[in-house]
Amino acid sequence: MLIKLAGGHLYDPEQNQQGEPGDLYIRDGVMTADPGPDAKFDQVYDVSGRIVMAGAVDIHSHIAGGNVNTARLLLPEQHRNHMARRLRHPFSTAKWSTTDSGYRYARMGYTTVVEPAMLPVNALDVHLQMADIPILDTAALAILGNDDLLLRLMRAKASQNQINDYVAWTLHATRALGLKVINAGGANAFKSNARQFDLDDIVPDYGVSSRQILQTLQTAVCQLGVPHPVHVHCNNLGMAGNVDTIVATMAAAQGLPMHLAHVQFYAYGKDGAKGFSSAAAQLLEAFNRHPNITMDVGQVLFGQTVTISGDVIAQYSRHADASPNKWVMWDAECEGSGGVVPYRYREASFVNTLQWAIGLELFLLAEAPERLFFTTDHPNGAPFTAYPELIRLLMDADYRQAYMAGLNQEALAMTLLPKLKREFTLNEMATMTRSAAAKLLGLHDRGHLAPGAIADIAVYDPAGIGRCDSLTGAFTGHPQTNVAAMFANAALVFKNGELVVQDGAVVARPNGRAQMLQPNYDARITRTVQDHFNRFYSLKLNNFAINDADFAEHPRFRLHG
């Protein structure tokens, strides 16, 4: 099938297209070059005057897994309230189904989403949940860093090659796209009653530090050639003064690639009467010194949500703030730990206002949008359905200023935000959410509109957000109220060349595919893993690993690399 999208204003940083009018061509689900004047098109869409981008890519959103299920079970009344009231923007993972997640993402123009925290023992459940999400391609990052076998190998002074084999085996067994490290060693330390765990603290009984675990796994990812850098949830999340921890973690990377997740939660100083302040500028100063580091923000937005994390130390430390007042903490003997804590971010709160402002400071002060990524750490900072609101805050300085009038003024006075007038451009938004995001994940077949890419395309109606230059297609002037509405409800969305959204409504629901990576490893590591399972697990190894038969009804996995 040959399809033409005619006359759209193209925003594709990969090809340096910044709103110039042009045509796009799709052949059998793939972007193709101009087929020539004699081509016969099966369908032609007139998108003149509209903004055209590649489908968006979310690199960090908790959409599946044990914590997500637990959140749903913990808060059933929120799901019932959502269904009864038909709220437009449900607050959290607890409030919608896998189907609803796919629909809501697709309506915003998203076509690929990454679950950043897949516990290996729970991998099959994660993939089964993601397989139930329509439209979206998905991927997951396997968690290591608190598992008993890795720490035993390190305690026994195993070679880096053996560690590499174990990491590669894990990626194979779990059908993951990359590796996640959550407060390296912290969950195991929690099991020995530690309630704080820093970068150079030692894991009880294993004799290795958090820094050693992190560097060992980072080296493995680099030596295995995994495109996405090790995805790091640092120590000391949410603590005053933790900017020192994240700066030390950047230095610990030793010049190798590393991705730091939801960094807003680590940009905290100790200044002021309350001993809690913004350290966004200090964090970005370190970020600029370390070009090997990429980060996502984890923006906080006001309202009800639920926090979910494998960082059991951080989750336990905030359980007294649960709203509503119920929470869950869990341990798994040979794996990790985690917790689920409902939370409401309040506009009158000093701390919450500071968190909101810090995230925006990080966005607006950053000099390299291609290294800084657009996330709310869904649902921890805010649900992904709030992305259009965040886009407006970044693109509209007047709206941002007006919004600040209703917040805690004492907190705002301790930040640079009231003085920041920067407004993000559509090209910068496309960089953070499309081209750079796909590159970071090693998914080079998406995030751009060049021939050969899969035809994941989002078309937005810009009516009212500014004036369009008839020659260049650039949108100038002040963004108006409906910039959020524009990004909330795309005019058209194509997934692999199939129209799936029209005028903000889902019109088709094809199955997505799971993106994965399977690096080579020495098969002898399987014996080591088998011996460990025989000794410590009730689960059989062949029930732990995912195999193609688990998805025989619809082949789901797509190998990258």
Q: Give the 3-state secondary structure of residue 10.
A: strand
CB of 387 closer than 8 Å to CB of 487: yes
Report d(CA 130, CA 121) in Å as an integer: 16
| Per-residue confidence (pLDDT) for residue 559, from 0 to 100 | 79
Rounded Cα distance between 552 and 561, Å, is: 23
Give yes or no for residue 478 having a pLDDT over 50.
no
Percent of the chain with pLDDT over 70: 93
Distance CA 57, CA 217 (A): 25
Element (H or E) spanning 270, and its range?
none
pLDDT of residue 84: 44
User: Which residues, including other chains, have CB under 8 Å from residue 89's CB and lie 6 or more apart?
Assistant: 383, 385, 386
**Could you tell me if residue 239 is left (phi over 0), alpha (psi between -120 and 50 degrees) or otherwise beta?**
beta
Q: What is the mean pLDDT of residues 45-55?
A: 97
What pTM was estimated for this model as a whole? 0.94
Which pLDDT tens digit goes with each residue over 404-446?
999 999 999 999 999 999 999 999 999 999 999 999 999 999 9
- Please spell the DSSP secondary structure of 355-416, one letter per residue: HHHHHHHHHHH-S-GGGEE---TBTTSS-GGGHHHHHHHHH-HHHHHHHHTTS-HHHHTTSS
User: How confident is the model over 8-36, as a mean pLDDT?
Assistant: 97
Sign of the four-CA dihedral 68, 69, 74, 80? positive
Q: What is the mean pLDDT of residues 462-470?
A: 59
pLDDT for position 555: 74
Gap between the Cα atoms of 432 and 296, Å rounded: 9
* Three-class DSSP category at 452: coil
pLDDT for the residue 556: 79
Q: How far apart are CA 326 and CA 322, in angstroms?
A: 6
Instruction: List, for residues 124-139, the tens digit of each pLDDT value.
Output: 999 999 999 999 999 9
**19 pLDDT above the threshold of 80:** yes
User: Taking Cα atoms as reference points, which of 64, 61, 127, 149 lies closest to residue 98?
Assistant: 64
- SS3 at position 303: strand
Residues 251-301 have pLDDT tens digits of: 999 999 999 999 999 999 999 999 999 999 999 999 999 999 999 999 999
Residue with tokens 């500071």: 354
Q: Which amino acid is at 436?
A: A
- Please report, for residues 259, 268, 320, the alpha-carbon distance to residue 245 in angstroms, rounded to integers and kept in the order given: 15, 10, 24
How far apart, in whole angstroms, are the C-alpha atoms of residue 94 and residue 103?
16
Summarize pLDDT for 190-247 with one digit per residue, the tens: 999 999 999 999 999 999 999 999 999 999 999 999 999 999 999 999 999 999 999 9
CA-to-CA distance for 393 and 363, rounded, in angstroms? 10
The torsion defined by the Cα of 55, 60, 62 and 67, in degrees rounded to 10, comes to 160
Give the closest residue to 216 by CA, choosing from 251, 184, 247. 184
pLDDT band at 81 (very low <50, low <70, confident <90, very high): low
Look at residue 470 and tell me whether its pLDDT is greater than 70: no
Instruction: Note the Cα 24 to chain centre separation in Å.
Output: 28
| pLDDT band at 538; cut points 50, 70, 90 | confident
Whether the CA torsion 266, 289, 292, 160 is positive or negative: it is negative
pLDDT at position 94 is 44
